[in-house]
A = this chain, B = another copy of it.
């Protein structure tokens, strides 16, 4: 097997992009369950907060049908000024957006947006073309059909974009549960956005608490 260089997300080299996750555009996302996608979208938006990353938010024609970003996003990042594109589909075609990217002084970008095949893919390809490394959080981009999503992800992949899960993003940034942020900061996030893991931790907590009272008691011998 040939040579391979594994570039990992580095919390000192990474920035977060929240792209066109607008309240009107949300209605176009039909490749995920509507609850599952809302969760993924909010989880994505919080990554910057957790790891203290530079954050870029942009919208497309937000006074029209596309609508604004959810208030929750604006409240998360009160100091980030949203790049409001008046017409450019590809955020990279907008000078203010390109400036915002440059201003981060980072080489690694974590992206997600609506819709996967247009907003996310166009930007991801342009970022790659401009020499940046790109991680696409595939759970947080949505579009009208699963077929469209899969082909858009493949197109990005062929351009060298890392198509990764939300949990992979968290863990590549965190690296070690003993770091800061680490277990203490990340487990509450997991409890909020990854309930499959969060409930295991809750069950364990309960067992430990019960264990103090009734050591040795379990259903299995």
Contacts and interface: CB of A to CB of B under 8 A. Distances in A.
Contacts of A193: 35
A216 interface: yes
Size band of the A side of the interface? 35 or more
A6 B155 CA distance: 11
A77 to B, nearest CB: 19
A81 interface: no
B219 A33 contact: no
Contacts of A95: none
Contacts of A182: 87
B26 A34 contact: no
Contacts of A208: 207-208, 210-211, 214-218
Contact of A144 (B187, B194, B210): B194
A11 interface: no
A28 B202 contact: no
Given A64-B217, A145-B33, A3 B203 contact: no
A30 interface: yes
Given A36-B36, A37-B195, 17 more contacts: A3-B131, A23-B199, A23-B202, A24-B206, A25-B200, A35-B39, A35-B40, A35-B193, A67-B204, A68-B206, A70-B202, A89-B171, A117-B164, A117-B167, A121-B168, A205-B219, A209-B211
The 8 closest A-B pairs by CB, nearest first: A211-B211, A207-B207, A65-B204, A205-B218, A87-B178, A34-B196, A6-B129, A212-B215
